[in-house]
Amino acid sequence: MNKNMDMATKIAKKVSEKGGRTFFVGGYVRDELLKIETKDIDIEVHGIDVDCLVDILESLGNVQKIGASFGVFNLKGYDIDIAMPRKEISNGRGHRDFEIYVDPFIGYEQAAIRRDFTINSMMKDILTGEIIDPFCGIEDLKNKKLKHINDISFCEDPLRVFRAAQFASRFKFEIDKGTIKLCSSMDVSSLAFERVFEELKKALLKSTEPSIFFTSLKEMKQLSFWFKEVEDLIGIEQSKIHHPEGDVFTHSMMVLDEAAKLKDEAENKLSFMLAALCHDFGKISTTKLRKGKLTAYGHEVESVNLAHEFLNRLTNKISLKKEVLNLVKLHMKPNQMYNTSKKKSMMKLWDDAIHPNDLILLAKADSLGRGIDKDYSEIEMALRASLKDYEELMKEPEVSGKDLIELGLKPGVQFSEYIKLGHKLHLSGLSKEDILKHISNNIKKNQDI
């Protein structure tokens, strides 16, 4: 038993001595029944007052009162959320606009009714193992059904629209028609972008078919505010020769699911998955019918612009956005250059890429996401061989500032220019000795002028 489970049991025993009961709640019970490993332990304490719970926790460790006013605690050094039953009443439009009342004696059904879905409403007694399931969550788990609990409380929290899509994607559950109808009626515009992004992140990183997240939001008619660019892909036609799978939305969803199969190989899983989602945004504005043929010339450039707008709406993480946009900008090049480009061009491509490995994976997902390419191994083998050549080249010595000083150049603006020139020549395959000769001649020529 790990230390968190051990502590949860100690808490439960002391609560029991005072006449109360302690339960595992929410996602912990759901994941255990689904046989999914989870690190999140949420427990809920019933039947004793707040002061009594605080006394118990203080006897066991250093109490962190992360939400003492509404009955939420944890212990320093432990990853356990410890809560008391409470009522939540909406007093605004935002995710955090609630009045919260702690009531340890509210009863199991009333405690569970504030939760979002039946599969998250189950409670498991830590000491006896008894599962209390007032809203038939076990049955919905078996039927792979995602169903909300209560119309009124569900609508008080618009984030549940995205949680519904995220759970449907992660568990491949069908969302109940009544829940879809309710989600369609909710205003999500007041949500904090961080909360929406967190649900998107879970869908992208924890789903084997993240496309379900977007197709669910599409069915709910909830793409337009936060995922406008994704919605705009719907109905954008493509050449049936190169894209028999259908419109750009269909292609993007297929690429996303192919990327999900590859994400564990990526250096940055999140930026890789976001790039798979955003890579063809530019086709929204660049798709044209030219001489009877559908084309989208330069869409990768416009994709960068639209992806930038999209990411700015959802996150303020600069390094993440930089990595995504870099992948989107270069996503066409690996497949274009395969068997057609000189070694120098390939070296420059890998040099331009922040994560060359992820670029290869994105090109693979893009190719397989058309429904006609079954095997990418030959192309991938060639690209990886080229990347290995680049990595070996980067191990060779390059021109440094010290080298330039030895050539008689004084530190200044020209320094960086010559360093760039040296790197460019290095990529073309010249040795450091030959590069220094070239730069020396260049310096002399400029001095003569």
pLDDT digits (tens, 9 = 90+) for 103-131: 899 999 999 998 999 999 999 999 999 99
Mean pLDDT (the chain) is: 91
Contact between 324 and 202 (Cβ < 8 Å): no
Residue-wise pLDDT tens digits, 390-419: 999 999 999 988 888 888 888 877 888 889
Distance separating alpha carbons of residues 245 and 239, to the nearest angstrom: 10
pLDDT over threshold 50, residue 174 = yes
- The total of other beta-carbon atoms located within 10 Å of residue 264's CB is 7
* Helices and strands, number each (H, E), in the chain: 23, 13
pLDDT over threshold 70, residue 341 = no
What is this structure's pTM? Answer: 0.91
Q: Which residue has the higher pLDDT, 16 or 298?
A: 16
pLDDT over threshold 70, residue 93 = no
Contacts of 112 (CB under 8 A, 6+ apart): 121, 122, 123, 132, 134, 135, 149
Percent of the chain at pLDDT above 70? 95
Distances (CA, A) of 56 to 4, 134, 268, 414: 16, 28, 42, 69
DSSP annotation of 134 reads T
pLDDT at 406: 87
- CA nearest to 209, candidates 238, 173, 161, 163: 173
Distance separating alpha carbons of residues 77 and 39, to the nearest angstrom: 14
Query: Is the sign of the CA dihedral 115, 116, 117, 120 positive or negative?
Result: negative
Ramachandran angles phi, psi of 59, nearest 5°: -75, -15
pLDDT over threshold 50, residue 95 = no
Distances (CA, A) of 64 to 14, 71, 72, 83: 18, 11, 9, 12
pLDDT at 89: 61
Residue-wise pLDDT tens digits, 252-273: 999 999 999 999 999 999 999 9
pLDDT at 66: 67
Residue type, 130: E
Distance separating alpha carbons of residues 428 and 132, to the nearest angstrom: 68
pLDDT over threshold 70, residue 92 = no
Least confident of 221-225, 236-240, 442-446: 442-446
**pLDDT confidence bin for 80, thresholds 50/70/90:** very high
Least confident of 261-265, 371-375, 433-437: 371-375
**pLDDT confidence bin for 71, thresholds 50/70/90:** confident
Using H for helix, E for strand and C for coil, what is the string for 300-325? HHHHHHHHHHHHHHHCCCHHHHHHHH
pLDDT at 138: 97
